[in-house]
Amino acid sequence: MDYTDRHYRVLMRQITRRSLLYTEMVVAQALHFCDPERRERLLGFDPIEHPIALQLGGDDPERLAAATRMAVDRGYDEVNLNVGCPSEKVRQGRFGACLMAEPDRVADCVAAMVEASPFPVTVKHRIGIDARDSYEELLNFVDTVAAAGCSRFSVHARKAWLEGLDPKQNRTIPPLRHDIVQQLKRDRPWLSIELNGGLIDLEQCRQQLQAVDAVMVGRAAYDHPLRWNTVDRDLFGDRSQEPATASSVVRGLVPYAERWCNEGGRLWSIARHLVQVVEGVSGARHWRRDLGLAAGDRSAGPDVLEQAALQLEARGL
């Protein structure tokens, strides 16, 4: 939330054209009640973002089906149901990780979404919650949801403590259990199993892909975007483009920024995601400071990115 918005996704498309990108979690109930303008803000994306999955939250099959039909109408490539978020606010709305305690409810939601969608419906979930963390309970959850038509299981390899830990603590305190996700793939070889959690570089991803079908990277992609600039070449075998550099990423955003600013958007909405594009080199902090000051002005336009790209090019970055 507040990170993988449409602007960050366009940034990542300067780095990888093949990887599947996910939206922020959008609550199906919010889509049902909001006005058309806000609905467009929640669902809108740029064509360059394909392939892209809409991540939904909710526990009502009818509203999730309606949200799925909206995704179909707007041209998404996949719809993903979030059954992994452990926040208290999400739990109070009866969706996210707490739904792992109700596999039949999740199955009903997935079945309704599958009925509404010609493209894949997937589920993101944990390996368990609270005291309900046995491998048998995980298998039961996966088998029940698979029977409803789930195309892929994106498994965060940590359990979630819904009582006593906040979302940040739930990302670090429960131990990573990649072995459980690998065991799930061995025991259910006919299912598509994706591993999420704790993957920080391409080599770790490559190692995990020997045991599972796919990998999902979240915070390491946001915090270190250029760390992934060879993913298309090394994992997808696509050598049609040279690996991105910091300057090519910034310059590649200029046409998008022109459209965004011409429609009344602020440049800062885009530029705020660039702070980690330059890291680990002399002068990075000053470059980020100068960009932030220039892009933070309400009248700032795409020329700010042009200047930032020129500064990087002059340094060979």
Predicted pLDDT at 212: 98
Domain co-membership, 144 together with 258: no
Pair 250, 142 in one domain = no
For the chain, what is the domain count?
Answer: 2
Asked if the peptide bond before residue 61 counts as cis, ω within 30 degrees of 0, the response is no
Q: What is the CATH number of the domain that holds 295?
A: 1.20.120.1460
Specify whether 92 is located in the same domain as 228.
Answer: yes
Q: Are residues 111 and 170 in the same domain?
A: yes
Same domain? 91 vs 203:
yes
Tell me, what amino acid is at 98?
Answer: C
| Structure confidence at residue 182 (pLDDT) | 98
Q: What pLDDT was estimated at residue 91? A: 67
180 and 279 together in one domain: no
**161 and 295 belong to one structural domain:** no
- With respect to residue 1, please indicate whether it lies within any of the assigned structural domains: no
231 lies in a domain?
Answer: yes
Domain containing 69 equals: 6-236
Residue 84 lies in a domain: yes
| pLDDT averaged per 10 residues, the chain (length 317) | 94 98 94 89 95 96 97 97 85 83 97 96 96 95 98 96 80 90 98 97 97 97 96 95 96 97 96 93 91 95 96 92
Q: Are residues 138 and 37 in the same domain?
A: yes
Same domain, 156 and 219: yes
Residue 241 covered by a domain: no
- Distance CA(229)–CA(29), nearest Å, equals 37
Domain termination residue (choose one: 171, 206, 236): 236
Q: Which of 85, 98, 109, 205 is catalytic?
A: 85
Q: Which residues pair with 121 in a beta bridge?
A: 79
- Sign of the four-CA dihedral 75, 80, 82, 84: negative
Boundary-marking domain end, from 171, 205, 236? 236
Give the C-alpha separation, 165 to 16, whole Å: 34
Do 41 and 95 reside in the same domain of the chain?
yes
Q: Indicate if 280 and 152 belong to the same structural domain.
A: no
Question: Residue 40 is part of a domain; what is its CATH number?
Answer: 3.20.20.70
pTM equals: 0.94
Q: Is 150 designated active site?
A: no
Among 120, 119, 178, residue whose Cα is nearest residue 146:
120
Q: Are strands 214-216 and 193-196 parallel, antiparallel or unpaired?
A: parallel
- Domain assignment present for residue 211? The answer is yes
Residue at a domain's end among 175, 203, 236 = 236
Statement to judge: residues 145 and 278 lie in one domain:
no
Other beta carbons within 10 Å of 38? 12
| 3-class DSSP string for the chain | CCCCCHHHHHHHHCCCCCCCEEEEEEEHHHHHHCCHHHHHHHHCCCHHHCCEEEEEECCCHHHHHHHHHHHHHHCCCEEEEEECCCCHHHHHCCCHHHHHHCHHHHHHHHHHHHHHCCCCEEEEEECCECCECCHHHHHHHHHHHHHCCCCCEEEECCCECCCCCCHHHHCCCCCCCHHHHHHHHHHCCCCCEEEECCCCCHHHHHHHCCCCCEEECCHHHHHCHHHHCCHHHHHHCCCCCCCCCHHHHHHHCHHHHHHHHHCCCCCHHHHHHHCCCCCCCCCHHHHHHHHHHHHCCCCCCCHHHHHHHHHHHHCCC
